[in-house]
Amino acid sequence: MTKKQRALEIKKRFLKHYQNPKTELKYRNIYELLVSVILSAQCTDKRVNLVTPALFAKYPSPSMLAKANVEEVKEIIKSVSYFNNKAQNLVKMANQIIENFEGKVPTTQEELKSLAGVGQKTANVVLIEYFEANYMAVDTHVFRTSHRLGLSKAKTAIQTEEDLTKLFKTDLSILHQAFVLFGRYTCKAQKPECENCFVKDFCTSKSNFKPA
């Protein structure tokens, strides 16, 4: 079986196994989604969901967050990893939205990447989740599982994203969410549940692959 044939079979199984996968972050609009995704870097969705209700109650819009005292934002999100940097980025990001985008969260990859705290992965996740855009975003779960399945040997997340995009081409938004859930609950970093895996026949290694 060629690599392309392997990829097509893996894709087929993922689409069958995960019918309508969605992020586990809780949000009500694109502003809340963007903030939640920024907070989720190097942090669990469960932890983010614990702090965002209070954050959104106090700062329900970019205009409100833009006027926020950074120290007060830090206090609300202090249980989240790297809360100091994230608090500063959130306030700066909100000000950029006010100044550069008339108070509305931008909806293209390049515009999103111009915001503080937003890299390509964060931008893609927002577009995937909110618009079901045909993008692949590579977090630690996607990186680990795609390497275990032999879909990429790239050293970085961006290069892995490129490999997966070329292999799968379509249904990328569904596949991204599916790979995240697969890595979170089945193909875990430690003690993967191989007996419950629907693609175990394609597994090439149980190593805990991490981006360089």
The catalytic residues are 121, 139
Rounded Cα distance, 105 and 29, in Å: 10
Task: Give the Å distances, CA to CA, from 59 to 35, 49, 67, 93.
Answer: 11, 15, 9, 13
DSSP output for 123-162: HHHHHHHHH--S-----HHHHHHHHHTTS---SSHHHHHH
Q: Which residues of 112-128 are buried (b: 16+ CB within 10 A; e: fewer)?
A: beebbbbebbbbbbbbb
Q: Give me the amino acid identity at 171.
A: D
Q: State the Cα–Cα distance between residues 164 and 100, nearest whole angstrom.
A: 33
43 contacts 61 by C-beta, under 8 angstroms: no
**Can you tell me whether residue 195 is helix, strand or coil?**
helix
- Distances from the Cα of 5 to the Cα of 63, 151, 155, 193, 202, angstroms: 49, 11, 23, 25, 11
CA dihedral 170, 111, 153, 184 (to 10 degrees): -80
